[in-house]
Amino acid sequence: MPLDKKFINKIIKEYKELFETLEEYDKTREWPIGRERIDITLSRRTIRKLRELKNKSGKPISRIVEEAVLRVWIIHLN
């Protein structure tokens, strides 16, 4: 049974992020998902605040930093 163009476009729209992930893999041969360790230098004050947030939220510092960066990134894109 051949798929009609309307149905194909619906699937592409619904799973756009998945198709973009697969396209990125085709280009780089690396999965663009997952996590990677980096080294950054922060002020002592910032580190102290991050530790306070960690204790209050129960989240690891890396997750707190990642969420903050993503919020800034989303704001910047809009």
Residue 1's pLDDT band, with cuts at 50, 70 and 90, is: low
Q: How far, in Å, CA of 38 to CA of 21, rounded?
A: 22
pLDDT at residue 44, as a whole number = 97
Q: How far, in Å, CA of 21 to CA of 23, rounded?
A: 5
Q: What is the pLDDT of residues 13-64, one digit of tens each?
A: 999 989 988 998 899 888 877 888 899 999 999 999 999 999 999 999 999 9
CA geometry: angle 57, 62, 68, nearest 5 deg: 75
Residue 3's pLDDT band, with cuts at 50, 70 and 90, is: confident
Q: How far, in Å, CA of 7 to CA of 5, rounded?
A: 5
Name the CA radius of gyration of the chain, rounded: 19
pLDDT at residue 62, as a whole number = 94
DSSP helix/strand/coil, 11: helix
Q: How far, in Å, CA of 53 to CA of 42, rounded?
A: 15
